[in-house]
Amino acid sequence: MWIVIMLMLYQIGAWHKIEVQEEGIYKIDASQIGISGIDPTTIKLYNGGSKMVTDSLDVLREIPIYVFPDTSVLFYGTSLGGWGKNGESFLNPYTSTNVYWLTYNGVSGRRDSISGSLIQEASACFFDTLHIEEDSSCPAQSGLGWIWEKIERSSASNSLKRDYTFDVQGVYKDSCKIKFAVYGWYTDRTLEMDEMRNIWHNIRMYLNGTVFFDTNWQGEQEYPLIFEHDALGLHNGLNTFTIELYKGTSTGRDIIFFDYFEVVYSKNYEAYDGNLRFSEGDSLSNDLRFTLQGFQEVPIIFNITDPVNPKRVYEVQFVSDTVKFQGPGGVYFASTNFKTPIIKGESPYNLRSTPQSLDCIIITHPDFLSYANNLKIHREGQGLQTGVFSVSDIYNNFSWGLENSPYAIKNFLTYAYDNWNQPRYCLLLGAGTYDYRSLLDKNRVPPYESGYRVGE
């Protein structure tokens, strides 16, 4: 079955690599990819699953889209962030760019949709979760265990505060829950271990200047402490979450690693900047009537309860700035402000389409291809059939476009060994670092890192 799917995908038309970084509804104009005049029913969009780990047997799966009469394409694109996608991390440690693949010709593409008559009203608000996180530091230099920042209060200071601002729109009530993750200072340095085990951590949390949580604990913490507490004072616009390290009865310094925080709040069904993501019930709920406000024209609406199988909602009623429709419970995204993806003329199958007979494989970064080709000439002079492969092509073919993935290199070598003539040698040409996304340093050929330990 897997081989049949692969052969079918080889035989369809030209490929276009579609890159997105944020969740939203994206529009591709026909002129951007030169598809004017083709049969619009054959336009198809694929994705590799948007997962951190790409298995060697994973295949591209087709994503339902909406095509205008002029062959412009609308699709729901998801970001790579989210619990469950990336192991123990919310953010993908390898890349922040998700990739879709567009092609045409052959059989008709998927155009899944839902509709129905108006029935009962949905509620006036729904609960939404805002996840706020930045990966700015990697104390253990492990590649997977990133934090926002290390916060240190000196022994001479009674208090140290850090402010983190965030924007929120559509607040229905000022009450909310705030969840945050911190680590007690953890180190392997022998001279600091006694201090680490005995240090007192005294912290307070504020929302817009008002304390909502106060706690303390003693000793190191190799894994995150996750606290959740009620808070008041949330409002539309910019808000401030504050962490305070205070001295209390402690006589020494205090050090914590701050990871992320989340705000769970009640939100109204009003669009902001032409977009609204909303939810009610679940996919097993009876059909509900949704009333959306704040749109200046009829929005495109997708049911995104299953992000890789979005369904467009049609027969939407629009009067003034009010949108009404019915649909099953679940998650939806409505938009009149479509995003524009980055489009590249690349293929997810160019390395698989032609069998090769090689003794030696050289894998390198595009910047080093000329050096690799010089080495190829040298090796072939020694009688070794040698192939040079760019990590860019390997990402496209073996992690479906997701860059910096060590699993792509593993999957490529597995494929080459199983389908070619069992090459004997492999050279990784280029520096590799735990910093997969090159936030602090350049990563040319990614190594494999395991574990989520945070510490120094």
Domain boundaries, position 154: 125-268
Beta strands in 64-170 (DSSP E): 66-67, 73-77, 98-103, 113-114, 125-133, 149-153, 159-168
What is the band of 369 on the pLDDT scale with cuts at 50, 70, 90? very high
- DSSP 8-class letter at 42: G
Do 356 and 388 share a domain, yes or no?
Answer: yes
- Is 76 in the same domain as 191? no
- Please check whether residue 325 lies inside any domain of the structure: yes
- pLDDT band of residue 123 (cuts 50, 70, 90) is confident
Out of 45-59, 175-189, 326-340, the most confident range is: 326-340
Same structural domain for residues 201 and 320? Answer: no
Q: Would you report the helix, strand and coil content of the chain in percent, each value rounded to 5? A: 15, 40, 45
Sign of the alpha-carbon torsion through 408, 409, 415, 418? negative
Question: At residue 112, does pLDDT exceed 50?
Answer: yes
Residue (of 387, 402, 400) closest to 446 by Cα position = 402
Question: Is residue 312 within 8 Å of residue 112, measured between CB atoms?
Answer: yes
- pLDDT computed for residue 7 by the predictor: 43
Q: What is the pLDDT of residues 73-99, one digit of tens each?
A: 999 999 999 988 887 789 999 999 999
Give domain status of residue 155, yes or no: yes
Residue 148 pLDDT exceeds 70? yes
Q: What are the C-alpha distances in Å from 60 to residues 65, 75, 157, 398, 454?
A: 15, 16, 56, 10, 34
How many residues in total does the chain contain?
456
Are residues 155 and 192 both part of a single domain?
yes
Task: Give the model's pLDDT for residue 11.
Answer: 46
- 344, 369, 403 - which closes a domain: 344
Pull the structure tokens for residue 21.
Answer: 């970084």
**pLDDT (0 to 100) of residue 117:** 56
When pLDDT is cut at 50, 70 and 90, the band that residue 3 belongs to is very low
Q: Which segments of 79-131 does DSSP mark as H helices, in order?
A: none
According to the model, what pLDDT value does residue 191 have? 67
Q: In sequence order, which residues have a C-beta less than 8 Å from that of residue 25 and are 6 or more positions away?
A: 74, 75, 76, 77, 275, 300, 302, 333, 335, 338, 339
What is the pLDDT of the chain when averaged over all its residues?
A: 90
Neighbour tally for 320: CB within 10 Å: 8
Do 394 and 443 lie in a common domain? Answer: yes
Instruction: Flag whether pLDDT at 116 surpasses 70.
Output: no
254 and 287 together in one domain: no
Per residue in 266-306, pLDDT tens?
A: 999 999 999 999 998 776 666 888 999 999 999 999 999 99
Closest CA to 28 of 102, 106, 97: 102
Rounded CA-CA distance 97/103 in Å is 20
Confidence of residue 119 (pLDDT cuts 50, 70, 90): low
**Quick one: pLDDT at residue 4?**
41
Using alpha carbons, select from 129, 80, 66 the residue that is nearest to residue 279: 129
Q: Is residue 456 part of a domain?
A: no
C-alpha span between 333 and 305 (Å, rounded): 10
Q: What is the pLDDT of residue 2?
A: 41
Q: What SS3 state is found at 346?
A: coil
DSSP 8-state code for residue 95: -
Separation between Cα atoms, residue 391 and residue 406, nearest integer Å: 10
Overall average pLDDT of the 298-320 stretch: 94
By the 8 A CB rule, do 349 and 394 touch?
no
Residue 67 placed within a domain: yes
* Amino acid 286: pLDDT: 66
Tokens for 412, please give them.
């490529």
Instruction: Please enumerate in sequence order all residues whose Cβ is within 8 A of that of 382, keeping only pairs 6 or more positions apart, or say none.
Output: none
Do 261 and 274 belong together in one domain? no
Asked if 81 and 65 sit in the same domain, the reply is yes
Same domain, yes or no, for 57 and 134? no
Same domain, 330 and 199: no
Phi, psi of 231 (to 5 degrees): -145, 155
Considering its fold, how many domains does the chain have in total? 3
Angle 271-45-47 from CA coordinates, rounded to 5°? 90
Put the strands of the sheet holding 61-63 in their side by side order: 61-63, 44-47, 98-103, 16-20, 342-344
Domain boundary among 249, 268, 287: 268
* CA–CA dist 159, 186 (Å, integer): 21
- 8 A C-beta contact, residue 415 and residue 107: no
**Is 153 a residue whose pLDDT tops 90?**
yes
CATH code for the domain in which residue 263 is found: 2.60.120.260
C-alpha dihedral sign at 441, 443, 447, 452: positive
Q: What was the pLDDT predicted at 1?
A: 41
Which pLDDT score is estimated for 121?
65
Q: Which of 34-48, 180-194, 210-224, 427-441 has the lowest mean pLDDT?
A: 180-194
Segment of 52-66, 96-110, 278-292, 437-451 carrying the highest mean pLDDT: 96-110
Residue 455 covered by a domain: no
Q: What is the pLDDT of residue 85?
A: 86
Q: What is the pLDDT of residues 190-232, one digit of tens each?
A: 768 788 888 999 999 999 999 999 999 988 777 889 999 999 9
Confidence band, pLDDT 50/70/90 cuts, at residue 120: low
* Percent of all residues in the chain with a pLDDT value above 90, rounded to a whole number: 70
Let me know whether 225 and 321 are in one domain. no
Unique residue bearing structure tokens 């390290």: 245
Answer yes or no: is 412 within a domain: yes
* pLDDT at 84 (0 to 100): 82
Q: Are residues 287 and 251 in the same domain?
A: no
Instruction: Tell whether 82 is covered by a domain.
Output: yes
Query: Which is more confident, 353 or 9?
Result: 353
Mean pLDDT for the stretch of residues 33-46: 87
Final residue belonging to a domain, choices 205, 236, 268:
268
pLDDT value of position 13: 64
CA distances from 36 to 18, 32, 64, 261 (A): 18, 10, 20, 46
